Amino acid sequence: MIGRDSLFEPAAHWAAVPQGLPLVALLDGYRDADHTVALSVETMLADDGGQLVAVFDTDSLLDYRARRPLVKVEGNHISDFRSARLDLRLLRDSIGQPFLLLSGFEPDFRWEAFTRALNEVTTHFAVSSVTWAHSIPMPVPHTRPIRVAATGNREEIIEQLSVWKAHVEAPAHALHLLEYQRMQQELDVVSIVVLTPHYLADGAYPAGAMRLLEALGTVDGILVPTESLRERDREFRATFDETLTENDEAVKLVEVLEQQYDGFLKGTPLENPFANADGELPDADKIAAELERYLKSRSDGAN
């Protein structure tokens, strides 16, 4: 039963949703290094946008001062006003399997109420499992495959996916609350954490999105075409690598990350997956600062 004070409104295809589907939640904002989540959602919605199932109340959940709506001005009048969206859609993957996608902005306000609303949705549709994803910057090189970490209660899947077992305290995402509650209720939930190169964190890095979508295939069997992302990744690498090789110091810094990465995969300490054989971390700040300085100088020189 959907309450009168719910934070969402059922949309046109609410009654068309089959029972027992998996739900994928991809919210951009705070934890979206390299625009991994945003690129993944863009790819998933590229064909037809799916069928709209429910729309969440933007006015109650969004801080407009932090993420202002966009207006389109033509001549002397405003022709469009676009605010951030948060909605639930029914999609089908490349072989026709249906699933639910929650996408849009991460709520700024009312996390408890938002989570209650999501629990209403998952109960109403008897959702079989919830998988959500985010991305964080790490001292890893763009020249190596993107890895993921995972949390949740689907142990076999998590062991298969996760390269890192963390023991940290960190600022939460809104969907961490949903994950925590589902864990308490012993309901299936998995969080995918894509570990992307920290020196590319402010840009759009297609390889991160490709890895996220591949992980969804492992967790829920959802198959999403990634040809467009692969082409974008080839173009990105060609441009970035050409720029990078013009600076010997930047190349050496990336080589340091490659050594750390390769060392870990050969069995370096699991407590700190990006430490070298002596347990020492690379100087991430130095690496990031140098690459950012160099790339900024290239950008400034082109203006």
Total number of domains constituting the chain: 2
Which residues of the chain register pLDDT less than 70? 1-5, 264-303
Show Cβ contacts of residue 63 under 8 Å, excluding neighbours closer than 6 positions: 108, 109
pLDDT of residue 84: 92
Is residue 198 assigned to a domain? yes
Q: Which of 158, 191, 224 is the last residue of a domain?
A: 224
pLDDT tens sequence across 146-191: 999 999 999 999 988 888 777 778 889 999 999 999 999 999 999 9
CATH of the domain at 78: 3.40.50.10900
Q: Are residues 176 and 291 in the same domain?
A: no
Domain span at 50: 8-224
Q: How far apart are CA 282 and CA 257, in angstroms?
A: 7
Which among 199, 206, 203, 246 has a CA at the least distance from the CA of 226? 206
Model confidence, pTM: 0.83
Q: Are residues 274 and 151 in the same domain?
A: no
pLDDT of residue 273: 43
Q: Are residues 120 and 68 in the same domain?
A: yes
Is residue 117 assigned to a domain? yes
Q: Are residues 165 and 54 in the same domain?
A: yes
pLDDT tens sequence across 239-276: 888 887 777 777 887 888 888 777 766 653 333 444 44
pLDDT of residue 289: 56
